[in-house]
Amino acid sequence: MSCETDTIETVRNSDQRMTPQRLLVLSAIRHSGEHININQIHAQVKKAYPIINISTIYRNVAVLKELRLISETYKTDGETLYEWIGDHTHMHMMCRDCNDMIEIDDKYLDSFKKDIRDDFGFNIDIDHLAISGLCKPCKQLEQVGYDN
């Protein structure tokens, strides 16, 4: 896989080493459908490398996040999810009632980002935010007067 090669280069070019453990963490995240949490990564990596320690997972995830190869999303219910940063960057909207998450293309942020850059000089990362709110169905339930 050539994309794997890019990844390895990215890691090496930054004074970091590509260890088997790190590679496994990386591919667990990449090959999971979309979002994956620490325990799922651990379980996945264990299949190929049973003795790996959970702290190694934590530390590798921190490194990969730092390198911006993966994104970290704090769900509003507390869970932390990781995701491969591919080309279709997006953000997350999470419903505060049903906890459902929808993905929204980054293009919606374009003008917001521009305003912030113009007025504050702050350059927003197209990082993955879990923005909380009320999804359509829950909003409708609320309007019907059906409390919670």
Contact residues: DNA, CB under 7 A: 8, 11-12, 15-22, 38-39, 49, 51-56, 58-60, 62-63, 78, 80
Could you tell me the smallest distance in angstroms from the CB atom of residue 60 to DNA?
5
146 binds, among a second copy, DNA, none (CB under 5 to 8 A by kind): none
Q: Which is nearer to a second copy, 27 or 76 (CB)?
A: 76
The two structure tokens encoding residue 131: 């923005």
Q: Which is nearer to DNA, 64 or 95 (CB)?
A: 64
17 binds, among a second copy, DNA, none (CB under 5 to 8 A by kind): DNA
Burial class (CB in 10 A: 0-12, 13-18, 19+), 70: buried
List residues bridging with 83 in a β-sheet: 71
Give contact residues for a second copy (rule: CB under 8 A): 74, 93, 95-96, 102, 104, 108-109, 111-112, 115-116, 119-125, 127, 129, 131-136, 139
- What lies within 8 Å, CB to CB, of 70 at 6+ separation is 26, 29, 61, 64, 82, 83, 84, 85
Q: Give me the torsion for CA of 33, 81, 60, 19, rounded to 10°.
A: 0
Backbone angles phi, psi at 80, to 5 degrees: -110, 125
136 binds, among a second copy, DNA, none (CB under 5 to 8 A by kind): a second copy
Please state, in angstroms and rounded to a whole number, the distance separating the CA atoms of residues 94 and 120: 28
Could you tell me the smallest distance in angstroms from the CB atom of residue 39 to a second copy?
18
Q: Which is nearer to DNA, 80 or 140 (CB)?
A: 80
